[in-house]
Structure 1
């Protein structure tokens, strides 16, 4: 997808592509610090999301990246850490 920073808009798009949206959840709201469980995304949906991020941004996320990232902010930070530490 891109060599630039991974953004909340990127995450929103990937979440919708991989698992859709829970009825009654508006991903357009300020969701940065909302737990994924509260947004309707459980472990299987996050695994799919992680796979799409890996393929789209050409990175490898550790299991801990997904396990420890309980909010969109934490996952975005983990992805951006991988993007900035890649050697070109």
Structure 2
């Protein structure tokens, strides 16, 4: 079963929107709000598009923009991945 990891998400965020000044994405960011670590909804939508292409899935825009933290986004994406694997 394919899963998106925090390392995958870090890489995708950097590819989609670059590194945000003064934020260490390599630190413990799982429960920090995206807004607090400098990623807005546009950056998240771009990250979502990259996740979709990489994993061959479709993510609802609401799923992406409603995820407040990396943990929220990983949980939601991994649920979609699990459903896709089960289908």
* Short-chain TM bin: over 0.9
| 1:2-81 superposed matches below 5 A | 4-81=2-79
Distance 1:69 1:58 in 2: 20
Q: CA RMSD in A?
A: 1.1
- Structure 1 segments, 4+ long, off by >6 Å, are none
Gap runs ≥5 in structure 1: none
Distance 1:52 1:63 in 2: 13
Shift of the alpha carbon at 1:67? 2.0
Gap runs ≥5 in structure 2: none
**TM-score, normalised via structure 1 length:** 0.92
**TM-score, normalised via structure 2 length:** 0.93
